[in-house]
Amino acid sequence: MESRTRNAFTLIELLVVIAIIAILAAILFPVFSQAKDAAKKTASISNVRQIGTAWVMYLADSDEVTAPLYYYDANNLRLPSTFGFYYWPLLLMPYTKSERIFLCPKDTADDPAVQDSQGRSRFDPKNEFYYYVLGANPSYGYNYRYLNTMNPYPDPNGTNPTPFHYVGKGLSGFDDVAGTVAFAEATMKDRFHPTSGTVIKNPIGYARIEPPSRWTGPETSATAWGQIYPRFDKELTIVSWLDGHVKTISKRKLRVPSTDVSVLDSYFNGRGPQQ
């Protein structure tokens, strides 16, 4: 009698194979996720490095005077969706030749406060406020408190509607440019939106960061860290320093323990590390 060859799997064999696949997936998916996250972090570091390079070029062309947080001129509508507001990312764009570097690959949140009347996302070029939002809400914030002077009168060179305006400062006024923060990962989360008055609930980017003397609120709030917002590590944030170099540092280390504000803000005010 001719023997028959069995080609089909038994139910138990199928279950064993499925179990093995499930185990492998459980092991490999986190690895793939970590690799994807690492690639995004590398891209973000590259973004900050390019911003630092553009920053150095800007300084060279401005007689080593830092950029203002923004300037406003309603008559300047070369980018119509700015409505005349040109925040620092837009001032650096002639040097970067790219707008994408101002957005971290992991900064994907949106918020109603930055959508337009049609509900278009802040990432949508058709958003009627697209370039205003790109300037005001990039993924990286500027140390504007110490790198700018806020003059308490309207800008004589524009049509600023506010009774103040920002101007840059000369590098010669900083003792340690390599130890002074220029830009860091940032979010607008937990702040009040200036026009709607609503609290921003989502971790959208923000054009400014605050020095430790202005860090307030519970530790779980972004305001407690001056809007500095590490996206890849709970503690370590990517920083571009005043001389243009880039490195990561613990957000906690950026606050130098002291009751003296000039020491407390050492990483921001130009004194450099004091510890």
SS3 category, 7 = coil
What is the C-alpha to C-alpha distance for residues 117 and 184, in angstroms, rounded to an integer? Answer: 30
**Non-local CB neighbours of 119 within 8 Å, separated by 6+ positions:** none
Residue showing tokens 């503690």: 235
Domain ranges, ordered by start, for the chain: 12-269
In the chain, the N- to C-terminal Cα span, in Å, equals 89
Chain centroid to CA 170: how far? 24
Q: Which residues, listed in sequence order, are joined to residue 27 by a DSSP beta bridge? A: none
Secondary structure, 3-state, 69-133: CEEECCCCCCCHHHCCEEEHHHHHHHHHCCCHHHCCCCCCCCCHHHCCCCCCCCCCCCCCCHHHH
Collect all residues with Cβ–Cβ distance below 8 Å to 90 and sequence separation of at least 6.
79, 82, 131, 134, 135
Q: How far is CA 12 from the centre of its chain?
A: 53
Q: How far is residue 19's CA from residue 29's CA, in Å, rounded to a whole number?
A: 15
Helices and strands (H and E) in the chain: how many: 6, 8
H or E stretch including 142? strand 140-142
Per-residue pLDDT of the chain (275 residues; tens, 9 = 90+): 455 555 666 777 777 778 888 887 777 667 556 667 788 999 999 999 999 999 999 999 999 999 999 988 888 888 889 988 999 999 999 999 899 999 999 999 999 989 999 999 999 999 999 999 999 999 999 999 999 999 888 877 766 667 888 999 999 999 999 999 999 999 999 998 877 778 899 999 999 999 999 999 999 999 999 999 999 998 999 999 999 999 999 999 999 999 999 999 999 999 877 65
Question: To 10 degrees, the CA torsion angle through 199, 167, 180, 272?
Answer: -110
CA gap 45, 61 in Å, rounded = 24
> Given this model, what pLDDT does residue 38 score?
84
pLDDT at 8: 65
d(CA 10, CA 19): 14
